[in-house]
Structure 1
Amino acid sequence: MAGTGLGFRRVEGIGERSVSGALAGLLSLTSDAVLAFDGFGRILMANEAAERLFGRQDLVGADVRALFPPAAGVVPDDAFDPRALPFSTDGSTSSLVVVGAAGAETGISVRCDRVSAPGETYLLVAYEDDSRQAEEREHDRLVQELSRANHRLSGTLSIVLETLDSRDVQTLFSRVLEEITDTMDATGTVFYVAEADGYHLRGTSSSLGEARVPRFMSFGRTIERLASQAGHALRLRVLAPEGADLRRGRLARRNVVNEETREIYHVMSSVLPPFASFIAVPVWFGRHLLALIEVGWDHVHPMRREDSELLDAVAQYLSVQLAGAFSAMRAQREADLREAASGIRESMMSAGSVDEKSVAAALEAAAGVLDASCVQLAEDADEPGRMRATLSDGRTCSLAADLGATEGDQAGNEVVVQPVREGSALASALVQEGEPAVGALVDAGMVDGTRCFCLVLREADAEPLDDLELKFLERVATDASGLAHGDEVRRQDKHIAQALQTGMRNELQRVPGISADGIYSSATQAAVIGGDFYDLIRLPNDRACVIMGDVSGKGVEAASVSAAVKTALGAYSWQGLAPAHMVRLLNEFLLGFSRLETFATLFVGMVDLRGGRLTYCSAGHPPAFLVRASTGAIEALDVQSGVVGAFHEMTYRNGRVSLGAGDVLLLYTDGTTEARATDGAFFGEDGLRDAVMREAPRGFEGLLGRLLDALDRFTSRHLEDDVAMVALRFDQVGKRQMPRA
């Protein structure tokens, strides 16, 4: 025998490669008899204790069956079958009797199990033992195994009972991890969820404390790939680094051995859990890999096959619970982000005007929701195709990036959100500047002639933005861009409206025999133009046409329709048409003119001073008041027709009323009667009638100003709609006022 006490020789191609060096060292140290034999029953290796126990010096190469009854000392002729051995090969203990060197029978205990090695290899351990010692040892072993199995079963039942039908994600991500850690007597447990871009850390057991745990693993980074390919739990051990690795300094990769197949993998240190030994457990739902659980120990720990099988069973149960929990979690996360986006939008709207600074503030707020920082960018005027960035420490730098990839349409108004890709020019530039390269580039398009875009970045070891977070950023950017562009359009509309207002300024022509006054009050200081308008047109033969209208809407559309209506009515009045006929023609004109669903209310009156008559058509307009000079009474002109520009074939009627010298006609828009007090009460026709009764006796001059003052007092100077009023006093009625035209 060799000095190591190990009998070994080559037998028909069987050599030292079939048994590891570690096993050889173990055999030389143990006092138990140890044999290794192959699938043909040939003994490959034996230690001195085995030679003493079986009384043979030539064990290596012998048939293992010849050592045990019923074939003791005889080599059977039939083919070797491990199932025919007098002991089991599953690792359990068997009691046998063998014949020693002196021919005496000796009671022994035998344990045999198949080991992972090239070919079919079995390891057998035997020791002398009398029946009582054997029974006691077996009893102790069984009690220990039973205690361990009971602990595993109790832990598994706790997991099932505490998570049964649970949709509480927090329960699944915390309590289960604690139960698994306790059940496996492990140092800790970590939990990753499989999402579109990789595996995101969603929970750790409390025992890990401040231990460094990778927060994200992209697809194909060894551990998850191995577990996915195997389809079941893997028992893995991180090997100690070799001297050459230590001398190189920081270990970028570590060697990890598969305890079942003895394969060695080179794994990036950044994706390894903080364990020396661990079991990686894939969680499957059908054919879809939902998650990865890693249960580990901070020291080299013997991991049994039944441990991985137990964890596979736990994962199979949890998969059903997790599928529902993940769906609920995603829906809740989506709702939270949608609410956050709405809050940012409301903040922008409440701030009033939205400009470039407002858009930048909105993007910064969105970054805060995602636990990220916002790096503002600007196109580098000196270097086209690059961006000037203001970094977190206040430094500015030029970053290489393909801006063309985010320009959208030719106007540059399309919102684009792109994740920062690993290995891209932008990512490389950020790393070079010492900035994290985990996040997204957000381009909100052009605002006031300036591009609004930024980088939303997380810490270097953080998980990347998922699809819900990217959609959130896109929504915030789209809202901000839309509000900013809306403000631009409103400002442009305001300028256009001002131009239209200047071109169609409300005016009352001088008509002999008529004193006229008009007033217009905007609901807000900012509202330069609305849909209210009026006009007094002097016509031949002591006649005049008075017009008051209110077009629905505000801004350019309302102003352009108002201008068209005034122009059309002016032309109709010179044709000598009756008011109802004029309004009927205008109705058809408006239905073909406006691209929007715009309608108008109108009062069109033809004044005949010689005849002392007023012929009018009130098309959906508030009834005009006629104040009689002779009695002071107020008459409402209440012959009413439908609005203009809403429907074809609308019927319009004329109303007629006689006029006397000194009578006053009051026209007004609905902003007057629909004005509200602070308690919500309407001013109404009665309020206006009372004000006219009170103010008319004080004279025509300043009448409209006094009525407007009364309205301001009633509303506490808070009008909700524009107000327009026109007053005509018929000074001379029944005789010729001017030369024939």
Structure 2
Amino acid sequence: METGHPATREELEAMLSSARAEASAASALLTLASRLSEMRGFEDTIRRAVEACSDMFGAERTYVVSRRERSGGLQIVSSLGFDADLLAHLKERAGVRGGLPLMTHVLDHQEVMVLSDISTTSLLDPEQARRRSLGAYIGIPLLRGEEAIGGMGLEFSRPHDFGRRQERMAEGIARLLGMALVNARRFTMLTKIRAFGLRISTRQRLSPLTDEICGAARDLVDADHVEVVLVDSPATIVEGSDDGLPWAQLQRRQVTALPGSAASNSGAAFAVGLLSSDGSILGALVLSFEWPLTLGPLRAEALRVAAAQAGIAIENSQRFERQRAMAKILQRALVTRDLPQVEGYELAWIYQASEADAEVGGDFYDVFELDHSVAVVVGDISGKGLEAAAQTAMAKYMLRAYALRNPRPDSVLYHLNNALVGRIGNDRFATAFYGVLNTHDHVLEFALGGHPPPFVFRAATATVESITVAGHLLGAFEEQTYATEKTPLGPGDGLVVFTDGLLEARQGNELFGAQRVAASIGRHAAKASSEELVRSVYEDAQSFGEVTDDTVVLTLRRLTTPPK
């Protein structure tokens, strides 16, 4: 074995010093890796990296730049140690192409720059060095593979004797921090995708949903304009249609660049398909940028995921709109318009859909003739949508059938309750006021099935009286009994029955409530007709706050003079 000449003392000391430098750099890089190991967003990762690297090198000022996608210039994304004036100057120089020549050189050549004495380089104008109090400089490209995605600059006011340790640390940081920032960008994009899903999940109606999708997509990929293009039917989509969208590619979930008029002269445009759960095309998400963007893999994947979420949301919204339309048709059929005239009484009612963006509710009312009497009904099925509307029809006509067989209120609600148990679902229930008015002696006998107690305006005393009786919710438990109560209606007296939508008009955390309903009746009943009364009571609830549920208000008022 060849041994060669033994190393001199100086060579051994140099080797030992180099080994120490390597070990020290490795230890510092391990510490940095530990600080950056937890998955965080881009801004938090940058801030931690700036603080750690500033400590590692003992830098007085540290900054990180990234390239502006729109202009190709640099922008400061994080900084440490700069006073306000110096930071403003740095940002101004960064905004000018070539305004930070040392960093530009680092990024263009993708190599570390270690300058122990700034005066030894011709890249920086001496006046700029003085303006920035710059004596030494370390520039580090932040690398993703062979691409520089940004750079870090460490500044020192006086020249420094940098050695092997600083060079090794800078070289290691270039790869380590580059990978950390790539992961941080992915984490930030995942956070944005999650926010996208949460935003669009708050909308059921189609028009507000598509508006929300456009706004969320703009925020997701920093687009200048976003449009949702929906198709009437997947069968109508053909390649080369007038809208110019490549539907065949979009149906394969490809993010596709759009040529020609879809993009501005100096910009770019892309489209991604919006697909239903069975893969049929619902439309497209079209995004345009006022700058020549090259869509990277991270943005493209984010758009595919967002489009998948948006497609399912649109499919659900379209189903909701169809069901809502059917429920409205059914509800319009249920809303009684031709109520009978009650001799000696004035009858009026109002049915008002909620102001909120909600489904069709289950409120109903009815007035029908019995032998020598008149039945008055106001009820509410819990839940919304087509199912609630169908169950409302069932309850309304069941009640009529039981009343025609035996009109007593306790009997009608007893049988209606038993019939509804198990038919409206375990998580649903109903409430109802059912009263029978004897038009000869003007006595109202009534029962309540968990319904808000109605009021009676007493004309003789100009007072409002709550009339109530115990009664369980309908459809919850079988074999419930229902008590009845009687109340006379004198000349001018008026019965006012309503659903809970009136009580639950909301102003912040406060509800309109029964006391305000009674006060509203008291203000209007003496001078208003029955029609004016129901309208005024509802409008008072509207003025108080948002009416978030469908509402019925019905009044039956005895005339002060008998009809001729």
CA distance in structure 2 between the partners assigned to 1:523 and 1:347 by the alignment? 22
Instruction: Kindly provide the CA deviation profile for residues 424-459 of structure 1, in whole angstroms up to 9, marking residues without a partner as x.
Output: xx9xx9xxxxxxxxxx99532159974326799999
Are residue 346 (structure 1) and residue 199 (structure 2) matched?
yes
State the match for 1:452 in structure 2: 284
Superposed counterparts of 1:159-558, under 5 Å: 159-161=26-28, 163-164=30-31, 166-168=34-36, 209-211=106-108, 333-334=186-187, 336-343=189-196, 346=199, 353-354=206-207, 361=214, 365=218, 368=221, 406=252, 417=253, 442-445=272-275, 450-452=282-284, 464-465=297-298, 470=301, 472-507=302-337, 508-524=339-355, 529-540=360-371, 542-558=372-388
Residue 397 of structure 1 deviates from its aligned partner by 9.1
2:190 counterpart letter in structure 1? L
Of structures 1 and 2, the one with the larger relative CO (CA 8 A, separation 6+) is 2
| Residue 356 of structure 1: how far off its partner (Å) | 9.9
Report the AA paired with residue 521 of structure 1: Q
8 Å CA contact retained: 2:193, 2:220 = no
State the secondary structure of the residue aligned to 1:524.
coil
Pairs within 5 Å for 1:577-596? 577-594=407-424
Q: Structure 1 pair 206/163, CA: closer, same or farther in 2 (3 Å)?
A: farther
Mark the CA change 1:526 to 1:441 in structure 2 (over 3 Å): closer, same or farther.
Answer: closer
Kindly tell me: are residues 676 and 463 of structure 1, through their superposed partners in 2, closer, same or farther at Cα, counting changes over 3 Å?
Answer: closer
1:610-649 alignment, distance < 5 Å? 610-649=440-479
Identify which of 87, 93, 105 aligns with 2:5: 93
Paired AA for residue 640 in structure 1:
A
Instruction: Quote the Cα distance in structure 1 between the aligned partners of 2:538 and 2:211.
Output: 38
Q: CA separation in 2, counterparts of 1:586 and 1:180?
A: 80
Counterpart-to-counterpart distance in 1, 2:448 and 2:560: 25
**Which of these residues, 548, 555, 558, is aligned with residue 720 of structure 1?**
548
Q: Deviations over 1:120-174 (max 9, x none)?
A: xxxxxxxxxxxxxxxxxx64xx414522441342242133035327232669989
Q: SS at 2:421's partner residue?
A: helix
Residues in 2 aligned to 1:272 and 1:611: alpha-carbon distance in whole angstroms: 94
Higher-strand-fraction structure: 1
Report SS of the residue matched to 1:640.
Answer: coil
Write out per-residue CA displacement over residues 271-307 of structure 1, whole angstroms, 9 at most, x where no aligned residue.
9969xxxxxxxxxxxxxxxxxxxxxxxxxxxxxxxx9
- Give the Cα–Cα distance (whole angstroms) in 2 for the partners of residues 652 and 342 of structure 1: 50
Q: 1:384 to 1:550 in 2, by over 3 A?
A: closer
Look up the equivalent residue of 1:519 and give its one-letter code. I
Give the 3 Å change call, closer, same or farther, for CA 479–590 of structure 1 in structure 2.
Answer: farther
Q: Which moved more, 1:331-340 or 1:608-617?
A: 331-340
CA contact (8 A) 2:492 2:557 kept: yes
Letter in 1 for 2:556: L
Aligned residue for 1:39?
Answer: none
Cα offset for 1:327? 9.8
Number of equivalences: 441
Q: CA deviation at 1:639?
A: 0.8
Deviation at 1:209, TM superposition (A): 1.6
Task: Quote the offset at 1:611 in angstroms.
Answer: 4.8
Distance 1:376 1:573 in 2: 53
- Residues of 2 paired with 1:363 and 1:699: CA distance? 50
| Residue 465 (structure 1) shift | 4.3
CA contact 2:36–2:180 (8 Å) conserved in 1: no
Change (3 A) 1:607 1:375: closer
Partner of 2:20: 153
1:355 positional shift: 8.3
Task: Check conservation: 2:505, 2:542, Cα contact below 8 A.
Answer: no
**1:633 shift after superposition:** 4.1
Contact 1:498 1:528 in 2 (8 A): no
- Return the offset for 1:383: 13
Q: SS at the partner of 1:167?
A: helix
C-alpha change, 1:377 and 1:731, in structure 2 (3 Å) is closer
Deviations, residues 205-243 of structure 1 (Å, cap 9, x unaligned) = 9797234669xxxxxxxxxxxxxxxxxxxxxxxxxxxxx
Q: CA deviation at 1:538?
A: 1.0
Shift in alpha-carbon separation, 1:387–1:584, aligned structure 2, 3 A: farther
Q: What is the rounded CA distance, in whole Å, between the counterparts of 1:517 and 1:402 in structure 2?
A: 59
Check the 8 A contact 1:523/1:720 in 2, yes or no. yes
Q: In structure 1, what is the Cα distance between the partners aligned to 2:491 and 2:212?
A: 63
Structure 2 Cα separation of the partners of residues 524 and 689 of structure 1: 22
Counterparts in 2 of 1:151 and 1:555: CA distance versus 1, 3 Å: same
Equivalence for 1:291: none
How far 1:620 sits from its partner (Å)? 1.4
Give 1:695's match in structure 2, choosing from 524, 536, 545: 524
Contact 1:607 1:615 in 2 (8 A): yes
Residue identity (%)? 22
Normalized per residue, which structure has more helix?
Answer: 2
Find the aligned partners of 1:419 and 1:714 in 2 and give their Cα distance: 49
Report if aligned partners of 2:193, 2:306 keep a CA contact under 8 Å in 1.
no
- Deviation of the 1:346 alpha carbon: 2.3
Offset from partner CA, 1:589-614 (integer Å, 9 cap, x none) = 33333357332221011222335432
Partners of 1:176 and 1:603 lie apart in 2 by: 72
Normalising by structure 1, we get a TM-score of 0.48
How far is the alpha carbon of 1:500 from its aligned partner? 1.3
Structure 1 counterpart of 2:390, from 555, 560, 566:
560
CA contact (8 A) 2:227 2:285 kept: no
Deviations 1:367-408 (A, max 9, x none): 726x999999999x9999967899xxxxx7979x6777x3xx
**Cα 1:350–1:451 shift into 2, 3 Å:** closer
CA, structure 1 residues 705+166, in 2 after alignment: closer, same or farther (shift >3 Å)?
Answer: same
Shift of 1:566: 1.4
Unaligned ranges ≥5, structure 2: 38-44, 58-101, 112-143, 148-163, 260-269
- Quote how far apart the aligned CAs of 1:627 are: 2.9
Alignment partners' CA distance in 2, 1:597 and 1:358: 33
Structure 1 residues 560-569 or 649-658, which shifts more? Answer: 649-658
Contact kept, 8 Å, 1:359 with 1:452, in 2: the verdict is: no
> Deviation at 1:362?
6.5
Distance 1:366 1:386, change over 3 A: farther
What CA deviation, in whole Å up to 9, does each residue of 1:688-732 have, x standing for no partner? 2223233332254433233334334444xx433333211112459
Q: Note the C-alpha offset of 1:328.
A: 11
Distance 2:56 2:427 in 1: 66
Using the TM superposition, give the Cα deviation of residue 516 of structure 1 relative to its aligned residue in structure 2, in angstroms: 1.1
Q: Which residue of 1 aligns with 2:538?
A: 708
Q: Which amino acid aligns with 1:668?
A: F
The Cα shift of 1:536 comes to 0.8
Gaps of 5+ in 1: 1-82, 84-88, 95-137, 182-204, 215-270, 275-306, 391-395, 407-416, 421-425, 430-439
Query: In structure 2, the residue corresponding to 1:692 is in which secondary structure?
Result: helix
Q: How does 1:678-689 map to 2 (within 5 A)?
A: 680-689=509-518
Paired with 1:517 and 1:167, the residues of 2 have a C-alpha distance of 73
Deviations 1:314-336 (A, max 9, x none): 99xx9xx989x989985884465
